Structure 1
Amino acid sequence: MAAVTTWTGREANALRQALRMSVTGFAEHLGAARRTVAKWSSQGDKVHLRADMQAALDTVLTRTTPEVRERFEALASAGTSGALADPAPLSVTATHLHTGAGGTHDIDSDGDVRRRDLLADVTISVITVPSVATLLNAMVAPSPRGTEPVALPFRQFARDVAAAKIDYQACRYEQVLARLATLLPALEPTRANTEGEQLAQFDALAGDLYHVVGSVLLKVGDKGMALVAAERSTRAAAISQDPVAMAASARIMTHALMSNGHMAQARQLAEDAAGTVRRSTRLASTDAVAVYGALLLRGAIAAARYEDRDSARAMLDEAAAAAGRLGYDGNDRWTGFGITNVLLHRVNIALTLGDAGTAITLARQVPLDKIGLAERKASLFVDVARAYTQWGRYEHGLDALRGAYQVAPEEIRCRPAVQRIASDLAVLTGGHVRSAVLDFAQHAGIRV
């Protein structure tokens, strides 16, 4: 086995995974701070380790068994940085999801999975390159040559924007793209035909429309154009002068900033926008409370990715208070905000910070039957899959991917994080497990 010339966070995390150690356990093994090891996981090859840590890792690697070295080489050559490599980093490490007798999903406290065939007779579509290209063309040139843009009646425009939101949250992305490609060219002519009080409502709807555009572009990994869409959402909402609309548009801007690596700016934006909507509305409506809480959750994620534990914890607690004030799990102003949503974010943030044990405990408390949005439920299954892969329980990781596929097939096909998990499973497994991984990937349309 060739020695590691220079240890970065990527190689260090590959060794941790090969040893099947938690962040905390690996830190104790090395005599390093847990925060330091978590940073290696989250920042990968952007972090070059100190000389003393390089020497310590050299020693650990030379003392490993051949089996561990084989796993290490596979992980390192695959370029994995572990469970925290993705821009939306989550990985539950000791929880399993199963389908109960009533058909809803629960978390099984003993960690066992009821095996089930999730792939039979499922017909799905995938976000295609031509569909995304059509969306981008509609953003860049809303009025194609030789065509006259057509205005829509205001009520139809409002219904179509709402339908796009519903399709997005249900992970029906091809339908979303088709709607957006029709709605974007209609924006300017429809606004020109709108007047009076409806004009401000239209601008708020335009902010919602570009929010969906940005969200879809983030799904397919077009971070630059997602940032453009987020800026347009922010601009339209500002024109409306609706404080809740402006706060809602700040959510997609925060998400786009995070995806482009601007964690500190994203956290600050979320905090500022939450404060603004609180002061301007006094949180007198359910929409205001939901958007306020959702902004805090987004800011908490940004803070966690920036390794600002105190801010992440404070924003989570404030969001929990808002959820208590709201009193139910709802989807006001398309936020999906509520008590369960806060719990999902607690799991996410614990894992982002490397606290796998805490994340496991929290994940077991999630009442999956109260997650009304397919996207959110699928994301939890994906996080569980990443966690089990990190933990070396590969069959459980595959089962979790199957669970996500059952909930939202299009979500599984389009997310880069899923492709990375499946690729890791294909590299790390052998025998019947690897065959099952490859069969699943082929059926689901995932490249490994």
Structure 2
Amino acid sequence: MATVTTWTGREANALRHALRMSVTMFAEHLGAARRTVAKWSSQGDKVLPRTDMQAALDTVLARATPEVRERFEALRAPGTGDEPVGTLLTDPAVHGDTGGDAGGESGSGGDVRRRDLLRGTALGAAAVPDVAPLLKALFTPELPTAMVLSIGQLSQAVAAAKTDYQACRYERVLDRLAYLLPALGPVKAGADGDQRARVAALAADLYHVVGSVLLKVDDRGTALVAAERSTRAAQASQDPVAIAGSARIMTHALMSNGHDVQAITLASTAAQELDRTTGLASADAVAVYGALVLRGAIAAARADDRDAAQAMLDEGSRAATRLGYDGNDRWTGFGATNVLQHRVNIALTLGDAGTAIAIARTVPLAKVTLAERKASLFVDVACAYTQWGRYERGLNALRTAYEVAPEEVRCRPSVQRIAGDLALLATGSVRAAAVGFAREAGIRL
């Protein structure tokens, strides 16, 4: 019989799927709040249910039928059952949805045939980029092969790396970073006077993108190292906007490593300091300020601090109004549309699915111009529909994300897990389409 020593959100979510229950149904079945079950679904391994919920989950599993326990074992296997926070878009025309997921096999026989099909499908290895060259460059900065760059050339190369990242060209940006990091030392050594501050600010941006791409490939610990280096470089630059910008990646890295409370404090403190030192007199300062408080709002929602999340969202809205347009100042992609996307994401994180749907309907997709933001939006949509058991809509949303940015789907382990869930949980023609999509994207199920 299946047993669980310690339940995490991931195992709880796998049990919910095995029981074929929605978030609301599972919450009622356990006697838990819907928001609690939604948090398990969104945070996975990062959250441990309370002791009373551990016991309730034990009881539900013990009373489950053999078919449910079999599905549970399959879903809790590595690579399945994990679902990050989703963003809900509900217009079927956007995703080309043609109906529900009825049909196909049901019961234990269908699940057995489904697993047999997946095991027999030769999809090739998942195309997660090779980060070894980047890690070598990060931890061995004085490589003999370091390129000699001028400050101007370094500035252009860092901008190109940022552009590649926002375009979801992750393999290319990893290649750029692997040669840019060793080149940083010689540029620093040759700088004098005011040049030192400029090089330090460029180093802060460079380590920022290193941390960002490492978070994309799920290397959370090393991303924290990169964020710390970005912070040190920004402080050396004495540029308030650079310092606040480095706080953004540090906030993200702290959250990804489970330090939500510290992330909230950092985002709030850094934003206040940026306001104090600059008066938010420039577009760069306003954009970084707004992006920073939005990152803090996500951390607050993950910590289940609804009041703090709402306060920081409102502050982000005020900053967007002050900025007056949807832009990409200081590589933030900040503006009113970006605030809306965060509102949807945070509402869902807090378990307010109805609110998330209502806000999502107001997101102007035409204004989501950065490939990384648009692809992430549709990945979140796919995750949300998968969570709700609307597998065809989830697959259509994932296909849209792939059309926008193939590497966002192909390279990210979290996205690959959504594809795996769709292929395992869907039935009939939708299941076959999900397996075909995984083959097309190069994802091993």
The TM-score bracket by the shorter chain reads 0.7 to 0.9
Matches within 5 A, 1:134-283: 134-145=133-144, 147=145, 149-283=146-280
Moved more, 13-22 or 438-447: 13-22
For residues 21-59 of structure 1, the C-alpha deviation after alignment (integer angstroms, 9 at most, x for no partner) is: 554454345443334333433454653554588458846
Q: Is the 8 A contact 1:300 1:311 kept in 2?
A: yes
Measured in 2, the distance between the counterparts of 1:288 and 1:396 equals 39
Tell me the residue number matched to 2:86.
Answer: 90
**Counterpart residue identity of residue 37, structure 1:** V
Q: Is the 8 A contact 2:18 2:69 kept in 1?
A: yes
Tell me the residue number matched to 2:410.
Answer: 413
Matches within 5 A, 1:5-404: 8=7, 9-18=9-18, 21-42=21-42, 44=44, 47-48=48-49, 50-51=51-52, 54=55, 58=59, 74-76=74-76, 80-81=80-81, 83=83, 86=84, 89-92=85-88, 94-96=90-92, 98=94, 128-129=129-130, 132-145=131-144, 147=145, 149-404=146-401
Measured in 1, the distance between the counterparts of 2:140 and 2:15 equals 49
Measured in 2, the distance between the counterparts of 1:406 and 1:363 equals 21
Question: CA offset at residue 60 of structure 1?
Answer: 9.7
Residue 430 (structure 1) aligned to one of 420, 427, 432: 427
Moved more, 27-36 or 220-229: 27-36
Q: Is the 8 A contact 1:93 1:390 kept in 2?
A: no
Moved more, 349-358 or 291-300: 349-358
Q: Is the 8 A contact 1:14 1:76 kept in 2?
A: yes
Alignment RMSD (CA, Å): 2.8
For residues 167-195 of structure 1, the C-alpha deviation after alignment (integer angstroms, 9 at most, x for no partner) is: 11001112212221221111121122223
Question: CA offset at residue 230 of structure 1?
Answer: 0.8
Moved more, 14-23 or 376-385: 14-23
Tell me the residue number matched to 1:116.
Answer: none
CA gap of 1:202–1:328, structure 2 versus 1, over 3 A, is: same
Measured in 2, the distance between the counterparts of 1:370 and 1:62 equals 50
Measured in 1, the distance between the counterparts of 2:358 and 2:98 equals 15
Measured in 1, the distance between the counterparts of 2:225 and 2:199 equals 20
Measured in 2, the distance between the counterparts of 1:70 and 1:362 equals 38
Moved more, 321-330 or 197-206: 197-206
Measured in 1, the distance between the counterparts of 2:61 and 2:135 equals 49
Question: CA offset at residue 61 of structure 1?
Answer: 8.5
CA gap of 1:176–1:275, structure 2 versus 1, over 3 A, is: same
Q: Is the 8 A contact 1:22 1:356 kept in 2?
A: no
**Counterpart residue identity of residue 445, structure 1:** G
**Counterpart residue identity of residue 299, structure 2:** A
For residues 351-405 of structure 1, the C-alpha deviation after alignment (integer angstroms, 9 at most, x for no partner) is: 1112222212221211111011100100011011111111111111111110000
**Counterpart residue identity of residue 236, structure 1:** A
Give the TM-score taking structure 2 as reference length. Answer: 0.85
Measured in 2, the distance between the counterparts of 1:162 and 1:6 equals 48
Measured in 1, the distance between the counterparts of 2:90 and 2:68 equals 21
Measured in 2, the distance between the counterparts of 1:350 and 1:22 equals 17
Measured in 2, the distance between the counterparts of 1:175 and 1:52 equals 45
Runs (5+) with no aligned partner, structure 1: 99-106, 114-124
Question: CA offset at residue 126 of structure 1?
Answer: 5.2
**Counterpart residue identity of residue 128, structure 1:** P
CA gap of 1:231–1:424, structure 2 versus 1, over 3 A, is: same
For residues 203-254 of structure 1, the C-alpha deviation after alignment (integer angstroms, 9 at most, x for no partner) is: 1111001101111111112112111111111111100000000000111111
**Counterpart residue identity of residue 143, structure 1:** E
Is the partner of 2:333 in helix, strand or coil? coil
Q: Percent identity?
A: 66
**Counterpart residue identity of residue 324, structure 1:** T
CA gap of 1:273–1:198, structure 2 versus 1, over 3 A, is: same
Runs (5+) with no aligned partner, structure 2: 100-125
Give the TM-score taking structure 1 as reference length. Answer: 0.84
Moved more, 239-248 or 365-374: 365-374
**Counterpart residue identity of residue 41, structure 2:** S
Measured in 1, the distance between the counterparts of 2:372 and 2:271 equals 24
Question: CA offset at residue 299 of structure 1?
Answer: 0.6
CA gap of 1:443–1:56, structure 2 versus 1, over 3 A, is: closer
Matched positions, count: 417
Measured in 2, the distance between the counterparts of 1:140 and 1:73 equals 39
CA gap of 1:323–1:250, structure 2 versus 1, over 3 A, is: same
Measured in 1, the distance between the counterparts of 2:152 and 2:5 equals 61
Is the partner of 1:354 in helix, strand or coil? coil
